[in-house]
Amino acid sequence: MAVDREQRLWDWERTAQPYLLVASLLFLTSYAVRVLVPGLSPGWETWWELVTIVSWGIFVAEYLARLAFSSDRRRFLRTRWLDLIVTVLPLLRPLRIIDMHERMRRRRNHPQLVLEARVMVYTGVTSLLLGFAASLAVYHDERTAPGANIHSFGDSVWWACSTLTTTGYGDATPVTSRGRVVAVALMFVGVALVGAVVGSFSSWLLRRFRQDGET
């Protein structure tokens, strides 16, 4: 019985995946438009706000549905904690990519890329999307703050790049509390990015040695 419900949960997640991906893109697009396009007419303003709210609503509804559907709710909360985070903060949804693909991979039998290449691709895509989301969020908070040194979206992207690579020039930094919370999150993403690049390099080197040693 529980196994059956678990199976139906899997089926549901497989079916819902593409729709959630579309909702994610709609959420990011509507947020980006509202932050980046100045002087939006009231009609369009309302429209894009609606898109933001509806796509967010879809995330919440889907999460609650899965929670209700689950045979063991405590286990669901514990093993799917990433789902809860990305439901509350949809800008972090790019983090789902890793999780999503892992579970996909186990069911279908896709031909695999080399593990290091896959880690690099995931890290690259996740960094790109989170960097973009962080640039949007910081620009949104900073552009009207007094004493801010991030005045345009270009400044915000520049700041995000220098943070992700842990370079940290400091010529453009957030000054508001919310901007700084986003910045701290992005710094740790940056440490993970460096970690993935370095780890892949050292793993690749060692495997090459082993192969050379065998032949």
Binding site for a second copy (CB under 8 A): 115-116, 119, 154, 158, 161-163, 165-171, 173, 177, 180, 183-184, 187-188, 190-209, 212
Instruction: Tell me the two tokens of residue 117.
Output: 């290449």
CA-based nearest residue to 134, from 158, 99, 166, 151: 158
Q: How many CA atoms lie within 13 Å of 41's alpha carbon, on the beta-carbon side? A: 2
Nearer CB in complex with a second copy: 57/124: 124
What single-letter amino acid sits at 46?
T
Nearer CB in complex with a second copy: 42/146: 146
Task: Report, in Å, the least distance between residue 166 CB and a second copy.
Answer: 5
Q: How many CA atoms lie within 13 Å of 187's alpha carbon, on the beta-carbon side? A: 12
CA-based nearest residue to 162, from 200, 126, 141, 190: 190
Task: Report, in Å, the least distance between residue 201 CB and a second copy.
Answer: 3
Distance of CA 95 to the CA centre of its chain: 4
Task: Report, in Å, the least distance between residue 162 CB and a second copy.
Answer: 6
**Largest alpha-carbon pair distance within the chain?**
69
Other CB atoms within 10 A of residue 207 CB: 13
Nearer CB in complex with a second copy: 17/199: 199
Task: Report, in Å, the least distance between residue 88 CB and a second copy.
Answer: 21
Task: Report, in Å, the least distance between residue 81 CB and a second copy.
Answer: 14
